[in-house]
């Protein structure tokens, strides 16, 4: 059976109108009669398609248009122009069958009632989505077991740790077995172990139920572990859509030489060899071309008191940063 597209977006645009006001009483009085209207294009002619069962990283700096796009795809916002198709539905028509197909989890916003036990908030979602009793009990038992929070379902949400609360958020969002998940910073603020637990759970859920996942995160570990494909957006425009490992040919052609010195070395002395990314006297990181590594390293050893060194590939974040800055 061929795999179809779960999400199709074509030339999606979202504009917000706002007004400019200068500081001061005089300007406040002036604004009573005349206000200068400005338009912010948060999403600008965005197009992409995502196959059913695919996990895609949706990346961009703050204000790039990620959350606005997700809100349009979930029907929360109506676009200025363009079209979107999610499992055959137009999201902003908000038809009941469509709303039962997806869930959205925002790391900085909670759907749980802080004064109620987590289990009661989850049960409320069960009622909203009209999940049959037997299916609800089976799903709750499975998810709470996988996330190791079964004993915490009776605890007030406000008394849970941040990691425990996020696990409960995931259970509440998945209690109706959605086919599509929008995850907006699901691991923000979590400790390393909680982040790992959430990632392992999402990977399992995607493999087990072929749920389609669109994930935004500023933690590259989330993206590297879960997504083979990424969509990069900046200033409302898509910069890249493809395999994570293929980001930026220039990224692949650069290396980092990490140098440790027995005495302090001025970073100005290293500029002739490459781009000095970091320097604190006895330690420096120099970026050079892949073909220049051997020559540069030999010169470092000849001219400076080097006691140790490492040669490393650039991090994926560096390739992404180059795309954002337009240098790739």
29-33, 85-89, 215-219 — which one is most confidently predicted on average? Answer: 85-89
Rounded to 5°, the CA angle 237-215-124 comes to: 125
**Confidence at residue 1, expressed as pLDDT on a 0 to 100 scale:** 30
Matching fold, domains 5-246 and 249-325: no
Is there a contact between 219 and 192 (Cβ–Cβ < 8 Å)?
no
Quote the CA–CA distance of 94 and 76 in Å, as a whole number. 9
- Stretch 74-98: mean pLDDT: 93
**Structure confidence at residue 13 as a pLDDT band (50, 70, 90):** very high
Sign of CA dihedral 291, 292, 293, 295: positive
Instruction: Look at residue 249 and tell me whether its pLDDT is greater than 60.
Output: no
Quote the CA–CA distance of 287 and 272 in Å, as a whole number. 11
- What is the share, in percent, of the chain residues with pLDDT greater than 70? 93
Q: Closest by alpha carbon to 320, among 252, 201, 232?
A: 232
CATH homologous superfamily of 5-246: P-loop containing nucleotide triphosphate hydrolases (3.40.50.300)
- Stretch 249-271: mean pLDDT: 82
SS (H, E, C) 71-110: HHHCCCCCCCEEEEEECCECHHHCCHHHHCCEEEEECCCC
More reliable by pLDDT, 107 or 88: 88
Write out the H or E segment, with its range, that includes residue 37: strand 36-51
**Confidence at residue 3, expressed as pLDDT on a 0 to 100 scale:** 56
- How many helices and strands, by DSSP H and E, does the chain display? 11, 13
Q: What is the pTM of this model?
A: 0.77
- Stretch 272-295: mean pLDDT: 87
**Confidence at residue 251, expressed as pLDDT on a 0 to 100 scale:** 58
DSSP letters, 103-144, are: EEEETTS--S-TTSBHHHHHHHHHHHTT--HHHHHHHHHHHH
- Stretch 206-217: mean pLDDT: 91
Tell me the pLDDT tens digit for each residue of 176-200: 999 999 998 888 888 888 888 889 9
Backbone torsions φ then ψ of 225, nearest 5 degrees: -75, -30
Instruction: Look at residue 250 and tell me whether its pLDDT is greater than 60.
Output: no
Strand order through the sheet with 81-86: 36-51, 5-20, 81-86
**Structure confidence at residue 2 as a pLDDT band (50, 70, 90):** very low
The domain spans of the chain are 5-246, 249-325
**Bridge partners of residue 213, in order along the sequence:** 55, 181
CATH architecture of structural domain 249-325: 2-Layer Sandwich (3.30)
Under DSSP, the state recorded for 27 is H
Instruction: Look at residue 248 and tell me whether its pLDDT is greater than 60.
Output: no
Tell me the pLDDT tens digit for each residue of 90-105: 999 999 999 999 998 8
Q: Which residues contact 228 (CB under 8 A, 6 or more apart)?
A: 55, 243, 244, 245
**Confidence at residue 185, expressed as pLDDT on a 0 to 100 scale:** 86
């Amino acid at each position: 059976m061929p795999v179809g597209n779960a999400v199709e977006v074509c030339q999606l645009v979202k504009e917000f109108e706002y007004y400019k006001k200068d500081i001061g009483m005089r300007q406040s009085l002036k604004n009573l009669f005349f206000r200068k209207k400005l338009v912010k294009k948060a999403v600008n002619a965005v197009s992409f398609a995502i196959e059913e069962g695919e996990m895609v990283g949706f990346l961009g700096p703050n204000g790039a248009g990620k959350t606005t796009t997700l809100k349009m795809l979930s029907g929360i916002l109506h676009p200025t122009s363009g079209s979107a198709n999610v499992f055959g539905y137009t999201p902003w028509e908000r038809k009941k069958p469509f709303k039962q197909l997806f869930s959205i989890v925002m790391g900085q916003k909670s759907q749980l009632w802080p004064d109620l036990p987590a289990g009661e908030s989850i049960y409320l979602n069960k009622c909203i989505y009209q999940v049959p009793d037997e299916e609800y009990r089976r799903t709750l038992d499975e998810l709470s077991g996988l996330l190791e929070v079964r004993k915490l379902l009776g605890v007030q949400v406000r008394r849970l740790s941040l990691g425990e609360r996020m696990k409960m958020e995931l259970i509440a969002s998945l209690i109706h077995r959605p086919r599509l998940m929008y995850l907006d910073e699901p691991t923000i603020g979590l400790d390393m172990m909680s982040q790992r637990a959430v990632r392992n759970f999402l990977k399992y859920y995607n493999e087990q139920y072929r749920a389609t996942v669109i994930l935004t995160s500023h933690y590259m570990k989330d993206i590297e572990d879960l997504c083979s494909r990424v969509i990069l957006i900046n200033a409302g425009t898509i910069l890249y859509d493809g395999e994570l490992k293929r980001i930026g040919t220039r990224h692949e052609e650069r290396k980092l030489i990490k140098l440790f010195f027995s005495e302090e070395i001025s970073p100005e002395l290293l500029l002739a060899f490459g781009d000095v990314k970091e320097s604190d006297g006895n330690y420096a990181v120099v970026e050079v071309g892949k073909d220049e590594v051997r020559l540069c390293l030999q010169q470092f050893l000849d001219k400076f008191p080097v006691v140790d060194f490492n040669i490393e590939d650039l991090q994926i974040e560096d390739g992404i940063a180059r795309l954002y800055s337009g240098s790739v």
